Amino acid sequence: MESMRYLALCLALGVIAVWAGENMFWFNPPEGLRPVDLAITVIAYAIASGVGLSLVIWTGVGGLPAAFLGGAVMGYMVEGVIVGTIYDPLPFFWVWTPLAWHALISGGLVLGVGRAGAVLGPVRMALIWGALGLGSAFWAQYWPSEVTDGEPLATTGVLALYLVGFGGLVVLAQVGMDRIGQLPRPPNAVLWIAPVIALLVWVAQGVADLNPLRVLLPLVMVLLWWVMRRLGQGGTRVSLGAAVPVWQHALVLIAPAIAVVLAPLAWAQGWGTLSANVAVAMATCLLSLVWLGRLIWRAARR
């Protein structure tokens, strides 16, 4: 039973991570995107999330630090194993996007804050998701500059299906985590599945691309493991937070709904040439580094 709950939780985390880290990030869906493509992406993200979840279980870290650090692990698995973007020459990519988006937004905000609805209450949650929606509409103003010649921007209806429609799966994922409630520690053989898959892919890619920067990924993972272990409280169960009504989880749809309405209106006004990516990247990189620095400081003081 613990193993099935663990696998279900990996899938739920994969859904949340794809919506927050792919749909809300890329915003304008690529032409020809099929449901099967999203399903494959969810599976890949579920494996990456499984690595983070296994480390959370092994170290016993909990609360928002678990969501942020687990999101960081997931982010480095996505960017360092699945796509390999962090091996570009600039060190900037070791923060953007593994920490600045996957850890901060996908992990800390959408998952961590999203699981705190019982503490924050519906009014504050609605305000948080409203702020995310406004930020997403601003972020969307960068993407028209990335659209290739002849490729149209998505219509409002397509955006609604891509962002709000897929967001409905996020609500179901949160409800599923409510049903799980607490996850008793699965057998180690199960906890090793995702990390072993990620390791094998990383080794295969390293053989195919002899980039010396690849050796930095294990060092980053060791740092994250050390912080998680120092902050961990031990125990044999992972708490997923208190359950809330389904309608309260559905408040997360406020964010994509606002973005879907405002972004095309701003595109029509010619705002699609804004360098929103620079502003968002600078702000999120700074916030994520500050958060990680505080966690490292707390870990060192223990």
Distance CA 142, CA 202 (A): 31
Q: Diameter of the chain by CA atoms?
A: 57
Q: Which residue reads 């953007």 in tokens?
A: 96
Is the pLDDT reported for residue 149 higher than 70?
no
Residues 6+ apart with CB under 8 A from 263: 27, 136, 137, 140, 141, 159
- Interaxial angle between packed helices 276-301 and 216-231, expressed in degrees from 0 to 180 and rounded to the nearest 10: 50
Residues 6+ apart with CB under 8 A from 67: 107, 108, 111, 112, 115
pLDDT at 235: 72
Q: How many domains does the chain have?
A: 1
Distance CA 114, CA 111 (A): 5
pLDDT at 210: 84
Tokens of 47: 């494996």
End-to-end CA distance of the chain: 35
Classify the phi-psi angles of 60: left when phi > 0, otherwise alpha if psi is within -120 to 50, otherwise beta. Answer: left
Closest listed residue to residue 203, CA positions, set 215, 193, 192, 194: 215
Residues 6+ apart with CB under 8 A from 265: none
Classify the phi-psi angles of 70: left when phi > 0, otherwise alpha if psi is within -120 to 50, otherwise beta. Answer: alpha
- Round the CA-based radius of gyration of the chain to a whole number and report it: 19
- Interaxial angle between packed helices 63-77 and 216-231, expressed in degrees from 0 to 180 and rounded to the nearest 10: 170
Is the pLDDT reported for residue 180 higher than 90?
yes
CA separation, residue 67 to residues 30, 102, 105, 177, 212 (Å): 29, 10, 10, 14, 30
Contact 251, 170 (CB under 8 A): no
For residue 97, is the peptide bond before it cis, meaning its omega torsion is within 30 degrees of 0? yes
- Give the mean pLDDT of 7-28: 96
Closest listed residue to residue 125, CA positions, set 136, 137, 114: 114
pLDDT in tens, 72-96: 999 999 999 999 889 987 789 999 9
pLDDT in tens, 18-55: 999 999 999 989 888 899 999 999 999 999 999 999 99
Instruction: Give the domain extent around 141.
Output: 2-301
Determine what percent of the chain is predicted with pLDDT higher than 70.
99
Distance CA 273, CA 258 (A): 20
pLDDT at 272: 76
Mean pLDDT computed over every residue of the chain = 94
- Give the mean pLDDT of 190-204: 97
Q: What pairs with residue 237 in β-bridges?
A: 184
pLDDT tier, 145 (very low <50, low <70, confident <90, very high otherwise): confident
